[in-house]
Structure formats: C-alpha cells, structure tokens
Structure 1
Amino acid sequence: MKPVLIIAGSDTLSGGGLQADVRTFQRFEIPSCQILTCIVTVPSDTGEVDIYDMPLSLFEKELASLGDGSQFSGIKVGMLANLEIAKQVSLFLKKIVVDIPIVIDPVLALKESGFGMSTEIVHFFKQELLPLATVITPNLHEAELLSNHQGIETIAEMEQVAQELHQANIANIVIKGGLRFPGDEALDLLWSNQQLTLFKQRKLANYHNNGAGCTFASAITVGLIQGKTLIQSVAQAKSFVYQAIEQGIPFLPELGNVWQGFKEI
C-alpha cells in the first residue's frame, strides 16, 4: 500500500498534530510519511500555547525530497504556522501529478489558546491554498475567520458560511461544531455538491479532546483512500473521533488527549 503524506506540526503533548495523524493512519494500517512544519509546546505551569516554526530553508528541503507526489495514496495537511510555509505547501500541492485525496485542516485557531492568524494568512488560505483541497475541515472559529462571519450559533449560519466558502472555489467543506455549538449534540456540517449533510453525536462529558480535529481530518483521509464516498468518509471519521474522545487520556487540568488505540473501529 502506498503511504499517505502528512504535513503538520508536532504537539509536545502528543495528543494532536502530527502525532495524532500518525496514530490514526496506523490504526487503519496505512503507512505514512511526515513533513514537519512547526513544534507546538504547552507548558504545564501556564497552559499557554507556544509555536516554533521550522526554518523555511529546512522546510523547503523537506518538500524537495518528495518529488511529484506519485508515491502517495493521499495527503493530509494540518498546522502550517506561517505564510511562507503555507506558500511552499501550496506550490507543492500544485505539482502533484496523481489524482489523490487532499484533506486540509486549516489550523487557524487552537482550542487551547484562541490563537489566530493574520488577515494576510487567512486571505492566502481562502484564495490560494484551500481551493487545492478535496475537502477542508475548519472548526467554528476557523470558519468565522475564513468567512468574516462572527458568532456562528445555528445550522443555518453554518450552511451560509459553507456556501460562501464554496463560492470561493473550495470544493467541499466540513464545519465542525464541537463543544462550542449550542445544545447537547456535537454537530458537523458537510457541504458538498450543493447538498447539506449533518452528522450528529451526543456530546461527551469529558475534556479529552486534544487532537480531535487532527484525528477527524486524518480519518476522513483514510475513508477517501479506502475508496469511500465523502459522506461515508465523514461518517466513519465522526464515529472514530467520538470513540477516540471517549477513550481519551487525562493530561492537564480540563485537557486530555484523544486516544486512537481503542479496540473497535
């Protein structure tokens, strides 16, 4: 089996980022190659997120080692951290010579810190990078940044934002409601082929969600690599990440890591 390519940051808590991606693909017995974009640290005494970017020259060497992408079964893109690295990823994706799924999780906001990107980076993502994806998976905050629509609180508002992003030449969009969305259900919205599909699960009463977004996007990539439809892939990913949160591992106060090592898929 061809490996999947992961382009993402490293999480020193090991719940999210590249570590979560690798564990998800391993869970489905899919090998992976990894390209590192940055290192994210969360000191236990402060809980504040610090981001250390890879030097651009080194990152360019990482990408240059990949050739034309023909050796991969799919590509999952996570945190890119700065504009120059995002530009290099965009150039690389444009050179891909094979028709493979590309899933981009636009990590513009970290749930732990409210970290947000500059207007310039948001514009580049929306206009240049995200249109290269098979599907993107923003959370509510990221969807708001990409659409300049503040305070998404209803399904109708989620749909409106998804349609706006689709009009920006982004093919398929999954907006993740997460814990912030009102109600007792964790609701995700897929906008694809002018069709709205909702995915619902009851919210879990724990905080073991560090890495949930990364795991979700990687699990969608798995489904597409397996030949499933996008709807089937999102449904599989929704179930998978639910179990990963349910079986999560406590780490810091009110923050735990998802765990992909549960027995049943």
Structure 2
Amino acid sequence: MVDFAYVIAGSEATGGAGIQTDLKTFHELSVFGLGTITCIVSFDPKADWGHRFAPVEPGVIADQMEAATAAYDLDVVKIGMLGTPKTIDVVADGLGKQSWRHVVLDPVLICKGQEPGAALDTDQALRDKILPHASVVTPNLFEATVLSGMESIETEGDLIEAAKRIGELGPRYVLAKGGVELPGDEAVDVFFDGDDVTVLRAPKIGTERVSGAGCTLAAALTAELAKGRPALDAARRAKVFTSAAITGRVGGHLPFEAVWQGIARG
C-alpha cells in the first residue's frame, strides 16, 4: 500500500528549502509526494543572494490543485509559502472542495522580496483563510511570536505559552519550533495537543540556521501523518529525521548551508 502526501508551496531555486525540500523529505520517508507550486523564489547571486520573488498565476495554481486532487485520493496536505492574498484565496478555495484528515500549515508569515504593506496583507489573509483549515500548525520562533501576540519568546516557558495561545486560534495540534535561536544548548520544540504539552529536545547542531530545516521538520511530520501515525509520534520521528538532515548539511557558494535529507538513509 502506498501512502500519499501532498504539498502546496513555493519553489526555491537552489534546492535548499520550499517544495524541493518537501518532496525530498517525502521520498526519503517512503511516501509518494506530489506538489503544487505557488511561487518561485530565486536568490540573486549578483546582489548578495537577495530574494527574487515571482508569484504563479492563481489560475495555474487552481489547475495544479485540480489535477493533483483528481489523480489520487489525497487526505494529508502541507501548506508552505503562498506569498500573495490572491494565491491564498485560490488555495483556500481548493482546500474547501474536499475534506482532509490533516492540513499541516507551516506559516510563512513574511515573504522576503515583497513590500512591507503587501507582506502584512498576506499575513492577514493567511490567518483569515488558511489557518481555519489547519489541523496542525508548525511555526518557527518568529512566526510563533507573531501568531501568539507575544512581545518576544526567549525561554522554553515562553515557547510553551506561545504554543498554547496558537492552539486557541483553532488548530488541533501545534508544533512550535525553537530551533537554534532559542537560548540554550538544546534545540527545543514544543508540541501542544489542546490539553497536554510535550517538549521535544535534541542537542543543537552548530549555532547558525540551516536552510530548509523548518521545511524539513514540517514535511517529515506531514509524511508521518500520511502513514497514519498519531500526531505526537509523528512529531517525535520528524525531529529525529530533521536532526539527521541538519547533521548532513551541505554547503556551496551560498552564504548559508542547506539540509540534506539523504543522510538519514544511513
């Protein structure tokens, strides 16, 4: 029996994040992955690797979603970078056309390469139209701060409070990612199921952010949910997988390194 996982997200041209990372993660976890591209991000090597952002036309996004959902019986989907209110509208409409066992929202709240006003409009649209569909939300430290309405998250206790506040917004589960930015020797993530809090810990691997780590954690969680695992078990497995991918990170000419999911095979 084949398990399917679907992702709706942006393409990141260097392969270190976005839908490329999601599909690699699905593959390594023995899940058949397919995806809808919402936008294209191309780092500019001529301008300090700044973001170049190009949205996909809403009609093209709708066509991709129609094809994907007609081709297979899909019931688990990860939502990554959407990028514009028009994109959010068409994705929300597509999500509403069927029932989903899990919608995993990895909430990209700030789209680099956009004007500040446009970014804020996108953030609000994401809250209003995509968050209500989500059964699981996987914010990083910045996103957890924004969604929770807290001034800052500086401790494990703060991250727990943020996860609880985000849970009040409607998702069944919250996996708040502390990453390397939360002080301490451990990479701490907080899982909240509406009643209980579980803190997931692993030794920090380096002190710098690695491109695609957050995408990988959310995608691995999605893959494990697609296999039918309970949410907490899926989160634990996703963290182990992501830690391995960070350990196997690769470097090139970019000013940052990227996770490598293939290292987990060993």
| TM-score, normalised via structure 1 length | 0.90
Identity %: 27
Once the 2 structures are TM-superposed, how far is the Cα of residue 118 of structure 1 from its aligned partner? 3.3
Superimposed CA distance per residue, residues 103-153 of structure 1 (whole angstroms, 9 cap, x where no aligned partner): 11111247x889977333323323331231221111011112223322211
Query: Superposition pairs for residues 68-87 of structure 1, below 5 Å?
Result: 71-87=73-89
Note if 1:88 corresponds to 2:76: no
SS in 1 for 2:181: coil
Q: 1:60 and 1:253, CA in 2 relative to 1: closer, same or farther beyond 3 A?
A: closer
Q: 1:67 and 1:235, CA in 2 relative to 1: closer, same or farther beyond 3 A?
A: closer
Partner in structure 2 of residue 155 of structure 1: 156
Query: Superposition pairs for residues 150-189 of structure 1, below 5 Å?
Result: 150-189=151-190
Once residues 264 and 234 of structure 2 are traced to their aligned partners in structure 1, the CA distance between those partners, rounded to angstroms, is: 20
Note if 1:132 corresponds to 2:170: no
Q: Which runs of 5+ in 1 are unaligned?
A: none
Once residues 92 and 189 of structure 1 are traced to their aligned partners in structure 2, the CA distance between those partners, rounded to angstroms, is: 30
SS in 1 for 2:153: coil
Partner in structure 2 of residue 5 of structure 1: 6
Letter in structure 2 aligned against 1:31? F
Partner in structure 2 of residue 22 of structure 1: 23
Letter in structure 2 aligned against 1:226? K
Letter in structure 2 aligned against 1:166? G
Partner in structure 2 of residue 195 of structure 1: 196
Q: 1:208 and 1:188, CA in 2 relative to 1: closer, same or farther beyond 3 A?
A: closer
Partner in structure 1 of residue 144 of structure 2: 143
Partner in structure 2 of residue 100 of structure 1: 101
Alpha-carbon contact 1:208-1:249 (below 8 Å) kept: no
Superimposed CA distance per residue, residues 186-226 of structure 1 (whole angstroms, 9 cap, x where no aligned partner): 11011113111101111112647111111111100111122
Once residues 155 and 218 of structure 1 are traced to their aligned partners in structure 2, the CA distance between those partners, rounded to angstroms, is: 23
- 1:50 aligns with one of 46, 49, 52: 52
Higher helix proportion (structure 1 or 2): 2
Partner in structure 2 of residue 248 of structure 1: 249
Supply the RMSD in Å over aligned alpha carbons.
2.4
Note if 1:227 corresponds to 2:228: yes
Note if 1:214 corresponds to 2:246: no
Letter in structure 2 aligned against 1:164? R
Once residues 114 and 245 of structure 1 are traced to their aligned partners in structure 2, the CA distance between those partners, rounded to angstroms, is: 28
SS in 2 for 1:120: helix
Alpha-carbon contact 1:184-1:202 (below 8 Å) kept: yes
Once residues 26 and 160 of structure 1 are traced to their aligned partners in structure 2, the CA distance between those partners, rounded to angstroms, is: 34
| TM-score, normalised via structure 2 length | 0.90
Letter in structure 2 aligned against 1:56? P
Once residues 114 and 245 of structure 2 are traced to their aligned partners in structure 1, the CA distance between those partners, rounded to angstroms, is: 23
Q: 1:59 and 1:193, CA in 2 relative to 1: closer, same or farther beyond 3 A?
A: same
SS in 1 for 2:62: helix
Letter in structure 2 aligned against 1:60? A
SS in 2 for 1:215: helix
Once residues 226 and 260 of structure 2 are traced to their aligned partners in structure 1, the CA distance between those partners, rounded to angstroms, is: 22
Once the 2 structures are TM-superposed, how far is the Cα of residue 68 of structure 1 from its aligned partner? 6.3
